[in-house]
Amino acid sequence: MKKIFLGVFLALASVVLVQVGCDPKATPASATVPAAVNFPSTTGTVLRTPPSPYGIVLDPAGNLFVVSRWNGNVLKYMPGFGAPVTLASGLNYPAAIVRDTAGNLYVGDENGKIFKITPSGVQSIFASGFNYPRGLAMDGAGNIYVADDYSYGIYKVTTAGVVTNIANPHGNSSQTDGPVASAGFYYPQGIAVTKDGSTVYVGDYWYRVSKINGGQVTTLTSSLGYPQYLTWDTTGNLIVSDNTNGLVQLNVTTNVITPLSTFTTNPRGVVVVDKNTLIVANSNGRYNAANQPIYKITLSSFVK
């Protein structure tokens, strides 16, 4: 078994993808949750079962970092997937995690702060003043993009820790398109950004994924359930962790949605191994302290 786990992490070692769960909130009056669809068959292997795993990220050495939301910890699993090391603690319902090229981790928690955690475990406040930085993404220059769940705003944090609102400065929750100064989001959670920082993708709590580009917010789809984590796949499109429909691929050019897997009932953070293999954290909610699985999932089919 140890050889299997080691093989998984050696295969993963050259891939570093970040992401950024789902809490009960009031349903907007206009929301209609789509029916579940048929998915390709999948197989999955449980790699580990930490308490309430949410965001996950992998480093080039094959170490997997897991946000344990209930406990407020960040766990480090080394290749071989033995017992974890607690790298950081004392966070308040953390959910999102990203990693820079120097190996520093950045984690958002419900106290409105983003914490920086060095490779040696030194923990400090990197940025503050948010309501709940629920989703984090990082561009190629190391800037962090924030989906601030409770304020409905989208923010950029420079490498110096300077915070700027880039969309919805007035807390508009109407899920409307238009100029960034007036467009709205409803509890934004998932977020992804292109390497050059020119386009930001946002998943609202209810059914929508939109993009921010050229000073405009544009809806790509309103046909999802809870698009709460967004992750780049190997084709330059998004994998969406959707608590209604499982894992889906969203083509960012055509807006076509391709079902991938319902193997996980509550998918959270995702790491992409290759076009048919994913590592997925599965967690049943913010107030669930139980140990829950992190899966390696093999998809039987994948449509580009």
pLDDT in tens, 82-114: 899 999 999 999 999 999 999 999 999 999 999
pLDDT band at 2 (very low <50, low <70, confident <90, very high): very low
In this predicted structure, what is the pLDDT of residue 275? 77
- pLDDT higher than 70, residue 122: yes
In this predicted structure, what is the pLDDT of residue 285? 66
pLDDT, mean of residues 12-26: 36
Q: Of 189 and 27, which is predicted with more confidence?
A: 189
Which range scores top for mean pLDDT: 191-200, 239-248, 270-279, 291-300? 191-200
In this predicted structure, what is the pLDDT of residue 302? 52
Strand order of the β-sheet with 277-282 is 42-48, 294-299, 277-282, 267-274
Among residues 59, 114, 112, the alpha carbon closest in space to that of 88 is found at 114
- Hey, what amino acid is at 270? V
> What separation in angstroms does the CA of 102 have from each of 13, 60, 106, 141, 303?
16, 11, 12, 12, 34
Which helix H or strand E contains 158, and what residues bound it?
none
pLDDT band at 18 (very low <50, low <70, confident <90, very high): very low
- pLDDT higher than 80, residue 12: no
pTM: 0.86
Q: Among 25-34, 82-91, 243-252, which is the least confidently predicted range?
A: 25-34
pLDDT band at 8 (very low <50, low <70, confident <90, very high): very low
Q: Among 146-150, 183-187, 281-285, 291-295, which is the least confidently predicted range?
A: 281-285
Alpha-carbon distance 142 to 148, whole Å?
A: 19
- pLDDT higher than 60, residue 11: no
- Hey, what amino acid is at 98? V
- pLDDT higher than 60, residue 301: no
Alpha-carbon distance 26 to 11, whole Å?
A: 42
Q: Of 30 and 154, which is predicted with more confidence?
A: 154
Q: Which residues contact 102 (CB under 8 A, 6 or more apart)?
A: 119
Spatial contact of 270 and 17, defined as CB atoms under 8 Å apart: yes
Q: Among 156-160, 210-214, 221-225, which is the least confidently predicted range?
A: 221-225
Q: What is the mean pLDDT of the chain?
A: 84
Residues 165-219 pLDDT 10s: 999 999 999 899 999 999 999 999 999 999 999 999 999 988 999 999 999 999 9
pLDDT band at 272 (very low <50, low <70, confident <90, very high): confident
Spatial contact of 295 and 102, defined as CB atoms under 8 Å apart: no
- pLDDT higher than 70, residue 7: no
In this predicted structure, what is the pLDDT of residue 286? 61
